[in-house]
Amino acid sequence: MASCTLKSVKNTIGTIKTVTNYIKDGHIRRNAFKKNIPNDCTTHTLKTMCETRWVERHKNVTDFVKLFPVIVKTLEDITNVDNTAAIFLSAIQKSEFVVSLKIMEIFSIIFTYK
């Protein structure tokens, strides 16, 4: 896949993986995440990106975008407890990450409807 050779896309995929694993792997973080999900949200979980099934990454990207406000709120909530949350919060709020994420979302939607 040619897009994976772009540094910003690679970094965005790596950040998505890291943030997803960070939230999923901690009991307090996972509970804070679940607490912040609104009732009308259609997506309720973050899924780990599969290394071998690149097609599944498209669904993970769209889910991450849908849950982005929830992820931000979760990281803000636990920043006082865990400094790592502040680092991840800073990373996902950078313009390069947000723009790359939106571009990846657009390509994921196009790929899904092909």
What's residue 58's pLDDT? 74
Mean pLDDT, 10 residues at a time, the chain of 114 residues: 68 92 92 90 77 70 91 94 94 94 83 59
What's residue 30's pLDDT? 92
Cα dist from 104 to 49, 56, 68, whole Å: 14, 13, 14
pTM, entire model = 0.84
| Alpha-carbon span 78 to 65, nearest angstrom | 20
Q: Please, which residues have CB within 8 angstroms of residue 81's CB and are 6 or more apart in sequence?
A: 28
Question: Beta-carbon neighbour count of residue 49 at 10 Å?
Answer: 19
Residue ranges per structural domain of the chain: 7-37+53-112
Of 61, 67, 72, the closest CA to residue 100 belongs to 61
